[in-house]
Amino acid sequence: MIEYSERIAAIERHISQWEFPVEPKNLYDPLRYFISIGGKRIRPLFTLLSAELYNIPIKESLPGASALELFHNFTLIHDDIMDKAPVRRGLTTVHEKWDTNIAILSGDVLMIHAFQALSSYHAETFKRLSIMLNQTAIEVCIGQQMDMDFEQIDTVTEADYIEMIRLKTSVLLGCACAFGGIIGGASESSIKSLYEFGENLGIAFQIQDDILDAFGDSAKVGKQVGGDILSDKKTILYTTFQSKATDEDKAEFSRLSTASNDEKITGIKALYEASGVLGYCIKKQQTYQERAMNQLAKVECNQPKQNLFTLAEFITNRSH
């Protein structure tokens, strides 16, 4: 994303120089550590680009953009506890490096700092941004709970799966785009379109993520493909297969589930392709991508939308 490197550098500076209190060290050292690990800073970038549609300089959109990045980091710290994840972005997670209590409390205070990051906006804008962030944050928690609940049940419908990824990840991208519109003083209908652009793009991104985990080029993805298949994760491929496959294919799937790792991955991928599941999911991904682009087309603004179109294309057509 070389086109956006200056903006990402500005976000990085703003986030990494965040003035957390020095003490207590056990509360704030984990945050300094976790935030410096990095990340793609996709959400704040969408806020900056959306605000640019209305000629808003970076320094005015940065506080809103940073609020979302801080909030996102809070969700990662708490999700890592719940998932018992030892590593994030190649480094030890907070609950592993310190302990669970510290990860709970550091996450809590980070969420509050995210809300506090909006304080520089004047009252009307502050209220609109806060209310949208509140609603989005509640939905993200609901999505995380749905994701945890899915682990305990056998069958997840496609509709439930899409609703889960919409809540767990996509609404925050919708919020990021709408933030740009709110800060830019966009019309109600354009704020709504910006939100739906981000939301649909987020769903397309997540479906793409599921597909790449199985069918990506391992050299480009940067990890062995098939991890989701091995862990029987309820991805879009899995749920589609469960609802559409013939009894014969399901029997073969069942046999493969206890096969060796290589046979399981190769066999289930072949089943996904032959049964039309892969094609169906690619089409689904394209549908959400098109919905996103249609919403972006509807946004009324006084600056060109090319940057947002390019970034949207980039993140949904990626091969890794």
Binding site for a copy of itself (CB under 8 A): 21, 23-24, 26-27, 78, 81-82, 100-102, 104-105, 107-109, 111-113, 115-116, 119, 123-124, 126-127, 130-131, 134-135, 137-138, 141-142, 144-146, 148-149
* Residue number, 175 or 211, with CB nearest to a copy of itself: 175
Q: Nearer to a copy of itself by C-beta: 122 or 222?
A: 122
Instruction: Report, in Å, the least distance between residue 239 CB and a copy of itself.
Output: 18
Distance separating alpha carbons of residues 74 and 53, to the nearest angstrom? 29
242: Cα separation from own chain's centroid: 25
Rounded to a whole number of angstroms, the minimum distance from the CB of residue 1 to a copy of itself is 31
Read off φ and ψ for residue 265, nearest 5 degrees.
-65, -50
> Rounded to the nearest whole angstrom, what is the least distance from the CB of residue 206 to a copy of itself in the complex?
19
CB of 244 to a copy of itself, least distance (A): 26
Report in angstroms how near the CB of residue 131 gets to a copy of itself at its nearest: 6
- To a copy of itself, the closest distance from the beta carbon of 275 in angstroms equals 31
Q: Which is nearer to a copy of itself, 115 or 280 (CB)?
A: 115
State the nearest-atom distance from the C-beta of 236 to a copy of itself, in Å. 20
What is the residue whose two structure tokens read 């808003």? 56
Nearer to a copy of itself, 138 or 251 (CB): 138
Nearest residue to 64 via CA among 170, 142, 172, 168? 172
- Kindly state the smallest distance separating residue 124's Cβ from a copy of itself, in Å: 5
Q: Which residue, 81 or 186, has its beta carbon nearer to a copy of itself?
A: 81
Query: Nearest approach, Cβ of 31 to a copy of itself (angstroms)?
Result: 11
What secondary structure, in 3-state letters, does the chain show? CHHHHHHHHHHHHHHHCCCCCCCCHHHHHHHHHHHHCCCCCHHHHHHHHHHHCCCCCHHHHHHHHHHHHHHHHHHHHHHHHHCCCCEECCEECHHHHCCHHHHHHHHHHHHHHHHHHHHHCCHHHHHHHHHHHHHHHHHHHHHHHHHHHHCCCCCCCHHHHHHHHHHHHHHHHHHHHHHHHHHCCCCHHHHHHHHHHHHHHHHHHHHHHHHHHHHCCHHHHCCCCCHHHHCCCCCHHHHHHHHHCCHHHHHHHHHHCCCCHHHHHHHHHHHHHHCCHHHHHHHHHHHHHHHHHHHHHHCCCCCCCHHHHHHHHHHHCCCC
Closer Cβ to a copy of itself, 55 or 116, answer by number: 116
140: tokens are 């993200």
Which residues, in sequence order, are bridge partners of residue 92? 87
- Comparing CB distances to a copy of itself, the nearer of 79 and 213 is 79
Q: What token pair was written down for 31?
A: 């945050």
